[in-house]
Structure 1
């Protein structure tokens, strides 16, 4: 990307169960039930990072674009809808029944094929992890499959000419990172607070396009993804047992002693 050419950013987002509710596994498939699913909260930071990037270079009026890509069932279109309301330019929905049951390897394979199919991106931005599996595997696997440099766990990102720069904050030090474009960046929840869709954004999103892709568009077979192509298999699952009642200490003047004895018995002192 030169200073005069438009910046084309791709953001990967996921449709995940709402963290406000308990997660449940389907007893037949051992997969997470997707009822009450929403746009992953951590992916909202990735959308915000992309929007701030293009705004720093003149925004959509200067020809810069933010495309959002998700892989998931029909309902995942609602996750794209929110990103368009936030300000993304267009959405792409990779939707195919054969993708159900994909593990991280299958997901990264399908997403890499989708990125190649779409083409022309200067930068790919993801969240630090999805809020359902929380593995953080897909961004690194995707970068490897696409042969891209990756800057991970960053809280600040900028593009200047043909280079992306970023800041990673650790417990004791801050690192400054850089890589040539095209590249892949994953941002943490320490990035700026994601914007909330306003009325203008909600109305404007109705005019924006969402494309749908299937495996046949990407040249992939059903055997390469989904449960058939998974490197891992869940053979059994069970609901978490209910928590047992805790120990209640009634203060009769010796509560401090009883508490100390309890902590000592648990080897916490």
Structure 2
């Protein structure tokens, strides 16, 4: 039974409680002066990696938190270490908002270099909602994958993942190495305690560049324009079912 070397990617995004605003140029969402935090799905991933260690069904040798982005991404890496990650790797990229394929290529290189045998990542980030990185990474590494996990068990080098599907639940089994993407029902992330926050400041945080991994940050998708969604129109009241049917016919809904 091999020890787990878990790689957990995390992303700095606009805090989930903040309402995004389009910038004045209409080219992107405004990020200046806006509160940022760790992507909620990535909090689940860190928590699940730490819980795997606590369950002791299979030994966990290392939990590495990874992020690619501006210098301020160090904040969420420190948070990840305060939650239980052993160390962190930061790929510093200030100028370009990385696309899923670039991140997947970076993760491929990191996983090979770190000899990771389990990668747990959020199914999507709440800024672009792409839901692509995990699947692309599985293709690049040619590893089995289980997406939108609501329960994860690892024992004797076999991962058992339960995921919710339209018709109920689905259980998947696959040998290590494996990629798992997390869904909201998986767990409840812990709060980082003050002692652990202080300890996290002493944990190793390594900084590297994309060039050191031979991965380009070139964008393949160009955003032409970003607009606020149209304001919802107010509803109307009807007296009875016949009135509702008449209104729906008037609107061409039936």
Q: How high is the TM-score relative to the length of structure 1? A: 0.82
Aligned counterparts of 1:113 and 1:7: Cα–Cα separation in 2? 18
Please tell me whether residue 161 in structure 1 is matched to residue 156 in structure 2: yes
Alignment check: 8 A CA contact 2:150 2:184 kept: yes
1:25-174 alignment runs, 5 A limit: 25-26=22-23, 30-34=27-31, 35-57=34-56, 64-97=61-94, 100-117=96-113, 119-174=114-169
What RMSD, in angstroms, separates the aligned Cα atoms of the two structures? 2.6
Q: Which residue of 2 aligns with 1:210?
A: 205
> SS of 2:82's equivalent?
helix
CA distance in 1, matches of 2:249, 2:41: 39
After superposition, the Cα gap between the structure-2 partners of 1:116 and 1:63, relative to the gap in structure 1 and judged at 3 Å, is closer
Report the Cα offset of residue 162 of structure 1: 2.2
Moved more, 199-208 or 39-48: 199-208
CA shift, 1:101, in A, is 3.2
- SS of the aligned residue for 1:66 comes to strand
Please list every run of 5 or more consecutive structure 2 residues that lacks an aligned counterpart in the other structure: none
Selected match of 1:246 from 234, 243, 252: 234
Secondary structure class of the residue paired with 1:64: strand
Change (3 A) 1:173 1:58: closer
Deviations 1:173-201 (A, max 9, x none): 32221112111111211112111112332
SS in 1 for 2:190: coil
Go from structure 1 to structure 2 and tell me whether the alpha carbon gap of 1:258 and 1:155 turns closer, same or farther (over 3 Å shift).
same
Provide the secondary structure at the position in 1 that maps to 2:161: strand
Aligned-pair distance for 1:258? 10
The unaligned stretches of length 5 or more in structure 1 are none
Contact 1:71-1:111 at 8 Å conserved across structures:
no
Distance 2:109 2:61 in 1: 23
State the aligned residue count.
Answer: 251
Query: What is residue 171 of structure 2 aligned with on the other side?
Result: 176
The two structures have a TM-score, normalised by structure 2, of: 0.86
Say whether the 8 Å CA contact 1:42–1:130 is kept in structure 2.
yes
Say which structure is richer in strand: 2
1:153 Cα offset (Å): 1.4
Tell me if the contact between 1:67 and 1:90 (Cα under 8 Å) persists in the aligned partners.
yes
